[in-house]
A and B are shown apart, each in its own frame.
Chain A
């Protein structure tokens, strides 16, 4: 009877053993600290990129510990990687609970808001910090704001949709209006939380803050397959550029159809899937000339850490998709270093101490300098935004090959940051950044002149399309040097 009762109690208190370890051994002699990862690792390239970024970070951290460049303990993610089946909140929640049960002291990952949402109730109860490296919904930081004590364990390395919209407004003003002479834009947004928010914010801000008119605004259902009618309406509206906002919709049909129709308006906006290097292959090169917001490209040396990470990634994982790091790879890689530094400062994995130290983070990562906003900010625990911190990078798809449709998708595509100006960079032989701002500005001036010319000729069909393709090609030349 007594025996049974003890067994029963033992069965109940599974988690109790792990808590005492650090107090017995002391910080520094601990076995590797367990860190978990939750993401769409089975289904999506963004998920696989996440895992790859994490593995690189952990191996690098452990090597630095071996070389005595970082204090122990090491980190480990063995058997702590879980799939969230993309948008199953319940699966993500079970995964979070399981990882904590298995002794994970912090968890990174998350790609869609739906999955991360599922984690939140358990996060508030189990208190193991979660570093969101993939979603852009602003509800999470609003939760932290609304009940700080409960949700303070949540941090994010991505910019939220509102900040992204703000960045877009800056891009429209600086790049589109001032450099490319855009007067009117068309907005093509999917009917998702992201697309609707983005549309609303741009409609409010573009006319007043960027001085650019909205010629057409379209909100299409997520699984809409056909853009012919939509693109025709945009053509009629006389827009000078298109700003897409696609998070769920892969955008492949959109890209294909803009190419087939030779739409006379460059596409500069957000297509999440368009950040993958494989996108060129998926669209058969038709993405040539499109520019999408991204966290980093790898080829562009944003910070001293970007290029080494990019090279290490290609060396280890270049053979299979995603063969180049996607944004989640950069953010997850940075997240683990941030976590390690915070742990070292806290000398503990106690959640409250860890949160305290995470809030003091000041880390130059692969995408920029990361500092978290404090609890009085409107978006607590989101990264600070600005040219000194993290901004979106607007990356142009281009190639030197004459016909993009016949380019070799493994070698020829280039991804060049065209905005903001401070990141118009290329790497020289030693990997040092060289500015190509003047070269890109010159290409923009040529494009502007070509458009004026095209307008004088009475806007023949496909004229501006060709001018923009020429612009993209010049940018490719600037980048290769």
Chain B
């Protein structure tokens, strides 16, 4: 099995599982996993640039913000419909990516990381300074929802025999919107990362000078990666604005999300795309799972022993697990699994 086929199989399995569990999820998990799918899109977008080329961006949330604020504000003030705001938002993100990529090509390693770290910080200040338009840190409410009432009514008509209550339907609608997005982005990026372009990007990570020496225009490929990355992340951002029905400062410009993208990709395996997708689920789902476990009661004693002492330690445990993971699976989960898989196959063959 070639690497490409393997990745597509893994991606397919993940996507099928995510799609199939949908109807069985309790409400809260549905919302959590909806956001996890969105986050997985961000992580994959980060991975195609930083994971593949090895230039660590600390501020990918910047592209989310550019696209999200463009789409949201156009919808709020000029009443543009979704089919117009989302493409415009994405184009603005790509434009920002292109504008930024040209000078950024001169920067390497920590210099690049610093500039990308500063971008969202500066953008955040700008959003606050322009608060009369953007709503500042509070955000602006009243963006057209992704699942409009007309769409929901149509769905309700179509699925009337299933007797789904309207809120549940609304959740389904959002969940599967992001499921489709995640699937499409996943397929596209896995294809790209295993194509010739992907191989060149990986070669740039390993040895930029050698690629240059082979007569390949490195800058062109890096700029391309920038544009793809910005467009993917921007697409997620623009759609998230319509799901939240608001431009939220904190979901569009939080530095934490920016860093969590890196964490997701590193956990899953940098430059593997599918790994980043897994990482996205692990980060967002893991957070919620630990919070959940903290509320369990063990069947000890009359009232049950509450694990609530864990509640305060939940985040701590999360980061501690992350450290352990970094320590033992430095390559990330996907490469680790693939390694085990190969080893196993080798054993079978030898046996």
**Across the two chains, which residue of chain B brings its CB closest to A14?**
B26
Taken together as a complex, chains A and B put the C-alpha atoms of A97 and B245 apart, in Å, by: 16
Does residue B298 face the partner (Cβ distance < 8 Å to A)? no
Taken together as a complex, chains A and B put the C-alpha atoms of A139 and B291 apart, in Å, by: 31
In the complex, which residues of chain A have a beta carbon less than 8 angstroms from the beta carbon of B164?
12-13
B250 in contact with A88 (CB, 8 Å)? yes
Binding stretch for chain A, among B94-102, B165-173, B222-230: B165-173
Contact string against A for B residues 122-137, beta-carbon threshold 8 Å, 1 for contact and 0 otherwise: 0001001001000111
In the complex, which residues of chain B have a beta carbon less than 8 angstroms from the beta carbon of A11?
23-24
B23 in contact with A121 (CB, 8 Å)? no
Choice from A101, A192, A221 contacting B125 with Cβ under 8 Å: A221
**Across the two chains, which residue of chain A brings its CB closest to B166?**
A125
Binding stretch for chain A, among B27-35, B195-203, B231-239, B318-326: B27-35
A9-B163, A89-B251 known; A117-B26 Cβ under 8 A: no
Does residue A94 face the partner (Cβ distance < 8 Å to B)? yes
Near A by CB (< 8 A), chain B positions 297-315 give: 311-312
B138 in contact with A12 (CB, 8 Å)? no
In the complex, which residues of chain B have a beta carbon less than 8 angstroms from the beta carbon of A228?
none
Choice from B35, B138, B170, B312 contacting A139 with Cβ under 8 Å: B138
A114 in contact with B136 (CB, 8 Å)? no
Does residue A90 face the partner (Cβ distance < 8 Å to B)? yes
Does residue A45 face the partner (Cβ distance < 8 Å to B)? no
A98 in contact with B28 (CB, 8 Å)? yes
Does residue A233 face the partner (Cβ distance < 8 Å to B)? no
B31 in contact with A89 (CB, 8 Å)? no
A101 in contact with B311 (CB, 8 Å)? no
Does residue B162 face the partner (Cβ distance < 8 Å to A)? yes
- State how many residues of chain B have any CB contact under 8 Å with chain A: 38
In the complex, which residues of chain B have a beta carbon less than 8 angstroms from the beta carbon of A29?
none
- State how many residues of chain A have any CB contact under 8 Å with chain B: 41
Chain A nearest Cβ from B161, distance in angstroms: 10
**Across the two chains, which residue of chain A brings its CB closest to B24?**
A11
B31 in contact with A94 (CB, 8 Å)? yes
Contact string against A for B residues 92-130, beta-carbon threshold 8 Å, 1 for contact and 0 otherwise: 000000000000000000000000000000000100100
Does residue A226 face the partner (Cβ distance < 8 Å to B)? no
A87-B250, A94-B28, A121-B244 known; A192-B163 Cβ under 8 A: no
**Across the two chains, which residue of chain A brings its CB closest to B23?**
A11
A90-B244, A97-B31 known; A13-B165 Cβ under 8 A: yes
In the complex, which residues of chain A have a beta carbon less than 8 angstroms from the beta carbon of B141?
117, 120, 139, 143
A9-B162, A137-B138 known; A114-B312 Cβ under 8 A: no
Near B by CB (< 8 A), chain A positions 167-219 give: 191-193, 196
A90-B35, A94-B32, A97-B28 known; A193-B165 Cβ under 8 A: no
B139 in contact with A117 (CB, 8 Å)? yes
B31 in contact with A15 (CB, 8 Å)? no
A90-B244, A118-B248, A121-B244 known; A12-B32 Cβ under 8 A: no
A89-B244, A94-B31, A97-B31 known; A114-B137 Cβ under 8 A: yes
Taken together as a complex, chains A and B put the C-alpha atoms of A9 and B285 apart, in Å, by: 25
Chain A nearest Cβ from B72, distance in angstroms: 13
In the complex, which residues of chain A have a beta carbon less than 8 angstroms from the beta carbon of B286?
none
Does residue A261 face the partner (Cβ distance < 8 Å to B)? no
Chain B nearest Cβ from A11, distance in angstroms: 5
Does residue B249 face the partner (Cβ distance < 8 Å to A)? yes
Taken together as a complex, chains A and B put the C-alpha atoms of A248 and B26 apart, in Å, by: 35
Near A by CB (< 8 A), chain B positions 139-158 give: 139, 141, 145
Does residue B343 face the partner (Cβ distance < 8 Å to A)? no
Does residue A431 face the partner (Cβ distance < 8 Å to B)? no
B162 in contact with A118 (CB, 8 Å)? no
In the complex, which residues of chain A have a beta carbon less than 8 angstroms from the beta carbon of B165?
12-13, 15-16
Taken together as a complex, chains A and B put the C-alpha atoms of A93 and B139 apart, in Å, by: 15
Taken together as a complex, chains A and B put the C-alpha atoms of A137 and B312 apart, in Å, by: 29
Does residue B160 face the partner (Cβ distance < 8 Å to A)? no
Choice from A12, A93, A221, A222 contacting B23 with Cβ under 8 Å: A12
Choice from B168, B248, B251, B295 contacting A12 with Cβ under 8 Å: B168
**Beyond the given A118-B248, A121-B246, could you list 7 further A-B residue pairs with CB under 8 A, ordered by the A residue number?**
A13-B165, A79-B295, A89-B250, A101-B28, A114-B249, A125-B166, A196-B131
Give 6 pairs: A residue, B residue, CB < 8 Å, sorted on A. A11-B24, A89-B244, A89-B248, A117-B138, A121-B244, A221-B128
